[in-house]
């Protein structure tokens, strides 16, 4: 009797989940069937758990791509309203004590991994394809050039790069515009890579939180932060901008590049970006009051779709090499799901990428740079 009840319960779950996803245009099925997503029995129950259950099912190999890619599957879920609302993370997660967690969780996944999926400049943020680039490296070079032109970098400028990653942007800024750069990161692996890559250049890499930048660094002519603000947290936005104003010399400007959307997908928060939360435009505008003037807002979130998919192609092409270098199947499945599901979110415009150029005061006759 118990086994019968369990079987009945399982069959009802399969029927319920299958019908629910069929309504969104996704055919679920087991191996050997002509299904969009291939399922193992436990995955059906996990799919009832929403974002966490679906993401973990792909991570654990309980389901995989059939006739449909993860990106296509996520797009269907978004359009069929089968994607849960983003969560709000707890304020304590972005404290100085807890801020290194994301560095250990994701950014310190190994320089071999990032070297395998990124372009030669090691840019791990949205590229700019809208300028006409047809491949990843050209789009990333256009992005770095755009940042430098927006900041109006001049030879001799001293630049602070908050969240400098592997040092590629600092290196480009120096070689292209003749500036010196101080870059900060919380990732030991990134800092080690950046110091080695930028050796003999007027580039200093400091492993620290933005709140603890040494006072002896003084003030900077320009500040840039690309893909770091998502880790600050709403309760710290004012503190972040206050610190940036303290670090910026009078007459200097500040360029912030971030993903926008509000909240964070619970699977991403748990598995990729602990404590992360996407800001909204309104939150930034509120946090900068009395500190900075927003001279320009520039949106190009659609370009993160091809950026992520270029990284995903590199992941697939280098999968065997990565396995030989110690990256296990679960890690690689996790990254595959992360890259493709995020690409779907940018492609369907439920999240975007924005750059806001900030100044102490209104700049007369300001002309936006694109």
Residues involved in catalysis: 342
The tokens for 17 are 């989940």
What is the rounded CA–CA span in Å between residue 127 and residue 254? 19
Rounded (10°) angle between helices 304-317 and 329-347: 160
Parallel, antiparallel, or unpaired: how do β-strands 63-65 and 203-207 relate?
A: unpaired
Q: Kindly report the backbone phi and psi dihedral angles of residue 6, in degrees, each rounded to the nearest multiple of 5, phi listed first.
A: -65, -40
For 250, other C-beta atoms within 10 Å of its C-beta total 7
d(CA 31, CA 41): 10
Identify whether the C-beta of residue 252 lies closer than 8 Å to the C-beta of residue 360: yes
Is residue 320 exposed (0-12), middle (13-18) or buried (19+ Cβ within 10 Å)? Answer: exposed
CA nearest 143: which of 110, 121, 114? 121
Per-residue exposure over 26-59, b if at least 16 CB sit within 10 Å of its own CB, e if not: bebeeeeeebbbbbeeebbbbbeeebbbbbbbbb
Other Cβ atoms less than 10 A from the Cβ of 369: the count is 15
| List of residues 6+ apart from 174 with CB closer than 8 A | 180, 181, 198, 201, 202, 203
Tell which residue, 150, 165, 180, has the closest CA to residue 255: 150
**If DSSP codes are grouped into helix, strand and coil, which group holds residue 365?**
coil
Longest distance between any two alpha carbons in the chain, whole Å? 81
Q: What letters, b where the CB count within 10 A reaches 16 and e where it falls short, cover 278-304?
A: bbebeebeebbeebbeebbebebbebb
């Amino acid at each position: 009797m118990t086994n019968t009840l369990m079987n009945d319960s399982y069959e009802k779950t399969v029927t319920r989940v299958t019908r629910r996803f069929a309504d969104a245009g996704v055919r679920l099925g087991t191996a050997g069937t002509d299904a969009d997503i291939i399922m193992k029995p436990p995955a059906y129950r996990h799919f009832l758990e929403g974002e966490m259950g679906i993401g973990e099912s792909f991570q654990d190999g309980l389901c995989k791509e059939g006739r449909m890619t993860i990106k296509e599957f996520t797009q269907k879920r978004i359009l069929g309203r089968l994607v849960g609302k983003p969560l709000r993370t707890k304020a304590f997660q972005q404290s100085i004590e807890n801020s290194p967690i994301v560095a250990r969780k994701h950014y310190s996944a190994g320089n071999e991994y990032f070297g395998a999926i990124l372009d030669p400049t090691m840019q791990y943020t949205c590229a700019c394809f809208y300028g006409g680039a047809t491949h990843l490296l050209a789009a990333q070079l256009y992005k770095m050039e755009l940042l430098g032109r927006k900041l109006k970098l001049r030879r001799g400028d001293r630049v602070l790069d908050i969240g400098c990653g592997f040092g590629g942007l600092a290196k480009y800024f120096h070689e292209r515009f003749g500036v010196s750069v101080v870059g900060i990161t919380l990732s030991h692996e990134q800092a080690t890579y950046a110091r080695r890559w930028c050796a003999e250049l007027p580039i200093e890499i400091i492993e620290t939180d933005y709140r603890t930048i040494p006072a002896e660094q003084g003030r900077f002519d320009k500040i840039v932060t690309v893909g770091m603000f998502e880790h600050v947290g709403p309760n710290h936005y004012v503190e972040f901008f206050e610190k940036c104003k303290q670090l910026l010399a009078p007459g200097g400007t500040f360029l912030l590049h971030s993903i926008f959307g509000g909240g964070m997908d619970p699977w991403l928060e748990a598995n990729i970006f602990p404590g992360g939360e996407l800001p909204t435009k309104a939150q930034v505008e509120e946090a900068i009051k009395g500190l900075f003037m927003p001279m320009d807002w520039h949106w190009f979130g659609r370009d993160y779709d091809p950026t992520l998919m270029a990284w995903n192609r590199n992941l697939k092409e280098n999968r065997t090499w990565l396995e030989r270098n110690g990256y296990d199947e679960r890690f690689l499945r996790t990254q595959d799901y992360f890259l493709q599901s995020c690409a779907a979110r940018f492609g369907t415009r439920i999240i975007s990428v924005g750059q806001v150029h900030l100044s102490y005061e209104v700049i007369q006759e300001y002309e936006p740079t694109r």
